[in-house]
């Protein structure tokens, strides 16, 4: 006979769960119910960018924190302007500086003001556009002039997407721009003109591969900022109501209790003056309203919401709000260092590359064509002329003395040049040196002596 096999094993079952490899972020369940997904970043940008821009414009125009955030970014990214420094041809940088006063085709500002206006548009609308005119000037245009609705296949692998024309190899070759700015108070034309990409400056922060147009920097916080704005308005109205101190008289006989006022059936609206004494009759009573005030929990919650808005916009909280009550030297310095790294990355990776360099190259070409004396070998090899660095505005530290001492030490150790330090302060080193030499000569002629150290003049032959 065969031995019978037990149906239940005598060995106890292990309590160790079965190991699984998975990402919780890709899981399912009730906690993920209703959470949105983004299948394609490019398609989402194309669909949402115009709506985001419209809402951002409205909030910046009406909300103090939104406007403060924009101005903070413009001040940090541009300040007094990004200035060119040509190591191979310093005289060209001086000539370019003279041109900056005439850069604006509309004669409203200079080249550095155009930088600020373009960055402001990039933060609010997500992008900025400008045209390089035939006269060597720059004209800013509204981003809405580049026709977002124009998208079609034009054959041979070429296509137009959101008003931007691409060649078959993916290069941007043209922009389709409306003749008039939408919103002007008279009949306008919505016909577009095909403008070669070499004549168009398109400034935007690239977020994803294949991105065509820019996305407003307010995209992560638009809904939160709108709710915050509504909450602040509600609290202001609540405070106004709280300030309306009112009293209510109860009169069992309905004879108005001896008070004088305006009768609005069936209510008598009585007025009190400071120091008034009134005697109430038997059965009469007066009660005063006790409107609620803003609680500490509401104030704390609004601060948290404001911090989230600042984080979403990418700027320190105290820069957005101007509130330094919770800040100290260490926290301010740590926050500013991180923010300055972000600012420098955008300055060199976006503003210099998409705006400053094309303008510099366009100016060099026009100067060479006009027979500039320094441009003799430009057409043989333009690269030595185009090779230039852009000096960004210097950040002021919390302790200016330590900042100046660190700058002096860096120059003395050969880690930076005086030209870089001077350009970061918004000056030209040639003009500065001329002014210093002139001041020294004038002081010596007048027999003046100052305690502050003055640079030593090196004699080369005859004394200056």
Where is 154: in which H helix or E strand?
strand 152-155
The pairing of strands 267-270 and 164-166 is unpaired
Contact 107, 417 (CB under 8 A): no
Q: Alpha carbon of 2 to those of 7, 8, 9, 264: distances in Å?
A: 15, 18, 18, 107
Q: Which of 127-136, 416-425, 443-452 has the highest mean pLDDT?
A: 127-136
Q: pLDDT digit string (tens) for 340-391?
A: 889 999 999 999 999 999 999 999 999 999 888 888 888 888 888 888 889 8
What average pLDDT does range 407-413 have in this prediction?
Answer: 88
User: Burial level of 416, CB count in 10 A (0-12/13-18/19+)?
Assistant: middle
Q: How much is the average pLDDT of 129-138? A: 93
For the question of whether the overall pTM of this predicted structure is more than 0.85, the answer is no
Which CA distances in Å does 46 have to 41, 285, 312? 9, 67, 21
User: With contact defined as beta carbons under 8 Å apart, do 236 and 242 qualify?
Assistant: no
Six token digits for residue 353:
């590359």
| pLDDT confidence bin for 294, thresholds 50/70/90 | low
Task: Please indicate whether residue 279 or residue 358 has the higher confidence score (pLDDT).
Answer: 358
Q: What is the C-alpha separation between 22 and 19, in angstroms, rounded? A: 10
- Confidence tier at 401 by pLDDT (50, 70, 90): confident
Residue 32: count of CB within 10 angstroms of its CB: 12
DSSP letter string, 216-236: -TTTTTHHHHHHHHHHHHHHH
Contact 166, 159 (CB under 8 A): yes
The pLDDT value given to residue 253: 61
If pLDDT is split at 50, 70 and 90, which confidence band does 463 have?
very low
Q: What is the CA angle 140-146-149, rounded to 5? A: 160
Residue 297 has pLDDT above 70, yes or no: yes
Q: What is the pLDDT of residues 236-274, one digit of tens each?
A: 887 777 776 666 666 666 555 555 556 555 555 566 666
Tell me if 440 sits within 8 A of 464, measured CB to CB: no
| CB neighbour burial string for 201-210, b if at least 16 within 10 angstroms, e if fewer | bbbbbeeeee
Residue 464 pLDDT grade (very low, low, confident, very high; cuts 50, 70, 90): very low
As beta bridge partners, residue 194 has: 176
pLDDT > 90? residue 78: yes
Residue tagged 């996305």 (tokens): 215
Cα 204 to Cα 53, 351, 389, distances in angstroms: 13, 8, 21
CA distances from 41 to 152, 159, 263, 379 (A): 20, 19, 65, 42
User: Which of 392, 391, 429, 422 shows the shortest CA–CA distance to 407?
Assistant: 422
Q: Across residues 135-163, what is the average pLDDT?
A: 94
- What SS3 state is found at 109? coil
Give the span between the Cα atoms of 316 and 207, in whole angstroms.
21
By the 8 A CB rule, do 164 and 175 touch?
yes
Under the banding of pLDDT at 50, 70 and 90, the label for residue 462 is very low
Which comes out higher in pLDDT, residue 329 or 159? Answer: 159
Is residue 444's pLDDT more than 60? yes
Q: pLDDT-based confidence at 153, cuts 50/70/90?
A: very high
Contact 283, 252 (CB under 8 A): yes
What three-state secondary structure class fits 416? coil
* 120 pLDDT higher than 50: yes
């Amino acid at each position: 006979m065969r031995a019978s096999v037990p149906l239940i094993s005598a060995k106890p079952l292990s309590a160790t769960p079965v190991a699984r490899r998975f990402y919780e972020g890709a899981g399912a369940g009730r906690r993920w119910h209703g959470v949105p997904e983004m299948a394609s970043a490019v398609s989402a940008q194309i669909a949402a960018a115009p709506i985001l821009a419209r809402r951002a414009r409205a909030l910046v125009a009406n909300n103090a924190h939104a406007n403060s955030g924009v101005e903070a970014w413009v001040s940090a990214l541009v300040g007094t302007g990004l200035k060119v420094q040509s190591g191979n041809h310093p005289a060209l940088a001086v000539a370019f500086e003279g041109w900056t006063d005439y850069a604006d085709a509309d004669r409203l500002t200079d080249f550095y003001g155009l930088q600020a206006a373009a960055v402001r548009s990039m933060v609010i609308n997500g992008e900025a556009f400008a045209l390089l005119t035939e006269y060597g000037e720059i004209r800013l245009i509204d981003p809405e002039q580049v026709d977002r609705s124009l998208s079609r296949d034009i054959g041979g692998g070429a296509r137009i997407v959101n008003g931007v024309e691409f060649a078959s190899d993916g290069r941007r070759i043209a922009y389709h721009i409306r003749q008039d700015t939408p919103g002007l108070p008279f009949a306008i034309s919505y016909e577009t003109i095909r403008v070669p990409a070499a004549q168009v400056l398109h400034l935007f922060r690239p977020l994803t591969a294949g991105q065509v147009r820019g996305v407003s920097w307010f995209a992560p916080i638009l809904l939160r900022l709108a709710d915050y704005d509504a909450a602040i308005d509600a609290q202001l109205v609540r405070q106004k109501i709280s300030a309306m101190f009112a009293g209510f008289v109860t009169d069992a006989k309905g004879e108005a209790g001896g008070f004088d006022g305006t009768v609005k059936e069936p209510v008598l609206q009585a007025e009190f003056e400071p120091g008034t004494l009134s005697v109430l009759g038997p059965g009469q009573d007066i009660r005063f309203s006790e409107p609620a005030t803003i609680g500490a929990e509401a104030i704390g919650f609004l601060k948290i919401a404001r911090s989230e808005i600042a984080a979403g916009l990418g700027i320190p909280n105290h820069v957005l709000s101007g509130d330094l009550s919770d800040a100290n030297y260490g926290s301010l310095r740590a926050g500013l260092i991180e923010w300055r790294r972000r600012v420098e990355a955008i300055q060199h990776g976006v503003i210099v590359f998409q705006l400053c360099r094309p303008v510099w190259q366009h100016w060099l070409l026009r100067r060479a064509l006009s027979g500039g004396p320094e441009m003799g070998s430009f057409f043989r090899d333009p690269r030595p002329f185009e090779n230039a660095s852009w000096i960004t505005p210097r950040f002021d530290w919390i302790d200016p003395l330590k900042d100046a001492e660190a700058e002096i030490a860096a120059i003395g150790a050969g880690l930076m040049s005086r030209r870089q330090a001077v350009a970061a302060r918004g000056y030209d080193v040639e003009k500065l040196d001329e002014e210093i030499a002139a001041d020294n000569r004038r002081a010596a002629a007048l027999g003046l002596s100052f305690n502050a150290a003055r640079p030593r003049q090196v004699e080369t032959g005859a004394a200056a």
